Amino acid sequence: MNIIRTVRSVAFSSIPNRTLSTTRSLSTPSAQYTAFEVNDKTGIATLTLNRPPVNSLNLELLTEMRNCLKDAETNKCKGLIITSSSNSVFTAGLDLLEMYQPQDERVKSFWTALQSMWMELYGSKIPTAAAINGHAPAGGCLIATACEYRVMLPNFTIGLNETLIGIVAPKWFVSAFLNVVPRRVAEQAITQGKLFTTAEAHNVGLVDDVVNTKEEAIAKCEQFIGSFKNVNPYARALTKQQFRIKELQELEQQREKDLQIFLGLIMQPSVQKAMGIYLEGLKKKSKKQ
Ligand SMILES: CCCCCCC/C=C/C(=O)SCCNC(=O)CCNC(=O)[C@H](O)C(C)(C)COP(=O)(O)OP(=O)(O)OC[C@H]1O[C@@H](n2cnc3c(N)ncnc32)[C@H](O)[C@@H]1OP(=O)(O)O
């Protein structure tokens, strides 16, 4: 049986998470929305998103994700798996409440944290895999495509649906999508705001495998990470970098401009109005259920 060493864990029980930290004291504050575990036998870390009801990515969750990524790298983990504690949502993407009628400083920190999280995940030295055990729209798809491998459970949806909300998927969201989906398919899907079903996503290459249970999804991710067993990790990391450096440098060099474009767009009255209507629709639907 595998022994799970909990480096950072939260919210799955009423036990305060610091009492679960068995291996070392943490330099970062307690986690609220993530669980981070390292399997002692395989050396593989699992980051579980746990911000009910839909794991929407707010500033705090993004910050915790960054801390987990850093932990996985500094602990020289063999790889990192990202999954969700929900049975139906991987993540609903960016927390729309961070962008709807936002406060100036908070929304800047939010976007900057998203940029950093993405660059750190996309450029991570260790193998990364997403066990997509629920819906993964927009920012959810961004996280999945930042990983090197994706496996998904049936009958969920994934894609960049920003245009349907009246917002624009930034260039770096699109470039990661283009790594896995043919350009023609990507252009049509992203302009339409299409959410692919699991089967469709598999067909176009947006996900690599489909399995029926979360356990099988984790096992597939472990298998993917295990496939690098005989590969020198430094050679692997440098080779991965060759594939990803262009997008990383592009965002790094344009961070401030990207932030200003984001702020300019979301602060437009028409965009705020569209977001308000979309949020209202979500709330109405949620009340009906
Ligand atoms: C150049 C820059 C321009 C700007 C770029 C911005 C890029 C944006 C990226 C994004 O990620 S935007 C977010 C996109 N996400 C979505 O469109 C998903 C919306 N959510 C859903 O479709 C569904 O919630 C779901 C994920 C399919 C799950 O459905 P389920 O039936 O399980 O839950 P719901 O009843 O719909 O929701 C419960 C609860 O959660 C609220 N909520 C859902 N998604 C979000 C969200 N992304 N942000 C904030 N809140 C969300 C929903 O309103 C419900 O709230 P309550 O009514 O319970 O208060």
What sections of 42-182 are H helices per DSSP? 59-74, 96-99, 104-122, 139-146, 162-165, 171-178
pLDDT tens readout for residues 166-216: 899 999 999 999 999 999 999 999 999 999 999 999 999 999 999 999 999
pLDDT tens readout for residues 61-84: 999 999 999 999 999 999 999 999
Whether the pLDDT of residue 150 is over 80: the answer is yes
pLDDT tens readout for residues 30-42: 899 999 999 999 9
- Name all domains of the chain by residue range, CATH numbers in brackets: 34-282 (3.90.226.10)
> Which residues have CB under 8 Å from 274's CB, separation 6+?
165, 166, 167
Mutate to test the pocket of ligand 1, among 101, 145, 286 (most ligand atoms within 8 A of CB): 286
**Average pLDDT for 104-124:** 98
Whether the pLDDT of residue 48 is over 90: the answer is yes
Mutate to test the pocket of ligand 1, among 33, 51, 54, 177 (most ligand atoms within 8 A of CB): 54
Q: Which atom of ligand 1 is nearest to the CA of 258?
A: 1
Q: How many helices (H) and strands (E) does the chain have?
A: 12, 10
Q: How far apart are CA 25 and CA 58, in angstroms?
A: 26
Q: Which atom of ligand 1 is nearest to the CA of 97?
A: 49
| pLDDT, position 29 | 58
Ligand 1: centre distance to CA 139 (Å): 10
Q: Which atom of ligand 1 is nearest to the CA of 91?
A: 26
Ligand 1: centre distance to CA 282 (Å): 7
| pLDDT, position 288 | 84
Q: How confident is the model at residue 15 (pLDDT cuts 50, 70, 90)?
A: very low
Complex ipTM: 0.98
Ligand 1: centre distance to CA 195 (Å): 13
Q: Which atom of ligand 1 is nearest to the CA of 164?
A: 17
Ligand 1: centre distance to CA 55 (Å): 9
What distances in angstroms separate CA 278 from CA 104, 158, 270, one per listed residue? Answer: 22, 18, 12
Q: Which residue numbers are catalytic? A: 94, 139, 161-162
Ligand 1: centre distance to CA 283 (Å): 9
Ligand 1: centre distance to CA 244 (Å): 29
> 133 with 217: CB under 8 angstroms?
yes
Output the DSSP codes for 203-263.
HHTSSSEE-SSHHHHHHHHHHHHHTTTTS-HHHHHHHHHHHHHHHHHHHHHTHHHHHHHHH
Q: Which atom of ligand 1 is nearest to the CA of 157?
A: 27
Whether the pLDDT of residue 143 is over 50: the answer is yes
| pLDDT, position 89 | 98
pLDDT tens readout for residues 208-238: 999 999 999 999 999 999 999 999 999 999 9
Model-level pTM?
0.92
Name which residue sits closest to atom 55 of ligand 1, judged by CA. 283
Whether the pLDDT of residue 144 is over 80: the answer is yes
User: Residues with beta carbon inside 6 Å of ligand 1?
Assistant: 53-54, 56, 88-89, 92-97, 135, 137-139, 161-162, 165, 167-168, 170, 261-262, 265-266, 282-283, 285-286, 289
